[in-house]
Structure 1
Amino acid sequence: MTATTRDKMIAGAADLMSRRGVNATSMRDVVRHTATPRGSISHHFPDGKPQLIAEAVTFAGRQVSIPLERAMNERGVIGGLKAFVASWRRQLAATGFEAGCPVLAVAVDRYVGEPGDKDDAAAQQHLLDLADGVFADWRQIMHAALLREGLAAGRAERLATLVVASIEGTVAMCRASRSADALDQVQEELETILSAALAHTAK
């Protein structure tokens, strides 16, 4: 299926956010990055940059949640974890450790609108709510997989949070060090923790 101009702009915004953060991603930058007509901004995103960034957050969330849920369903918790980490490792390597997580960028970068925009505070809160929802979705996918393999709900929730928080934080560390070593180390420890938890349920 051929991507529409709107789709290209959303994907392009997510890519720029993953590399530069939210505030260094302008509407003009997105147009240049995606080679789309400048007039398409007002047509596809009448509410301006807040709308485009919000759409990019939702897009970025699905780019992770869909393959993550598939991997957890098809491979189980440990196999799904391996696939989750492998996807981040590929992204880091493919971008020369320039691109991280655009959802994390929203969480840590206070939103500043384009010239003429109003109510940055409301836009900031909306974006934070969206980012929180994406992280919650990823945790829920992991949580459901752990429940299927016999963990109690409370432990499954805590471990799901641990996995998502660990991977997100480690991706940022890898960008800083220009190395995937930290991701390899965290994966090994997470596999050990999850394997032990799952083995305990089998007793």
Structure 2
Amino acid sequence: MTSTTRDKMIAGAADLMSRRGVNATSMRDVVRHTATPRGSIGHHFPDGKPQLLAEAVRFAGQRVSVRLDKVLSELGVIAGFRAFVTSRRRRLETTQFEAGCPVLAVAVDHYVGETSDKGETRDEATQQHLLDLAHDVFTDWQQVMLLALKREGLEAARATRLATLVVAVIEGTVALCRAARSTQPLNHAQQELELILSEALARKAE
């Protein structure tokens, strides 16, 4: 299916945010990165960069949610988790450790607005909106993992804690991998999380 110009710009913004962060991703860079017409910015995103960033967060979040839900549903918790981590590892390696997570970028990078003659301006309303979106995405990822654990018999309270742990560890470990320019931190995290998940599922009937 052919992507529209708007879709290309949203996906391109998500990619650049994963590599550069929020403030270093400009509208001009998105146009150049996606080879789309500069005049399309105002047409597709009348509210400017804040609107594009928000759409990019939603896009990135949904893409991961769909992929995670698919592998967990088809393969089960352990094999599905392993397949998901493999895709994250591949992404790191194929981008030479440039690409992290655009949602994490939003959570840690304070949006300062566009640069004017007076310098950068802090846009607190946009910052809060982006943080709310990032929170919604992280919550959705946790929910996907939570439901998968419950399908395999784990009680809700433990499943909730483990789902939070999985998302937190994987997101944090991707940052470690980028800094080390190595997938070793992710390999270690995967091994330990698989042990924790396997033991929790094995004890569910006790």
User: Following TM superposition, where does structure 1 have runs of at least 4 consecutive aligned residues deviating by more than 3 angstroms?
Assistant: 115-119
Question: For the Cα contact (< 8 Å) 2:112–2:122, is it kept in 1?
Answer: no
**Paired amino acid for 1:74:** E
Match of 1:186 in 2: 189
**Paired amino acid for 2:133:** L
The percentage of counterpart residues that share the same residue type is: 72
Question: For the Cα contact (< 8 Å) 2:85–2:190, is it kept in 1?
Answer: yes
Which segments of 5 or more consecutive residues in structure 1 lack a partner in the other structure? Answer: none
Query: How far, CA to CA, are the matches of 1:200 and 1:27 in structure 2?
Result: 51
Match of 2:198 in 1: 195
Please say if 1:146 is aligned against 2:149: yes
Give me the TM-score of the superposition, normalised by structure 1: 0.97
Query: How far, CA to CA, are the matches of 1:125 and 1:177 in structure 2?
Result: 31
SS in 1 for 2:165: helix
Which segments of 5 or more consecutive residues in structure 2 lack a partner in the other structure? Answer: none
Please say if 1:129 is aligned against 2:132: yes
Matches within 5 A, 1:34-49: 34-49=34-49
Query: How far, CA to CA, are the matches of 2:122 and 2:105 in structure 1?
Result: 20
Query: Once the 2 structures are TM-superposed, how far is the Cα of residue 119 of structure 1 from its aligned partner?
Result: 7.1
Matches within 5 A, 1:27-176: 27-115=27-115, 120-176=123-179
Query: How far, CA to CA, are the matches of 1:76 and 1:125 in structure 2?
Result: 36
User: Residues 10-32 of structure 1, C-alpha deviation per residue, up to 9 Å, x if partnerless?
Assistant: 00000000000000000011011
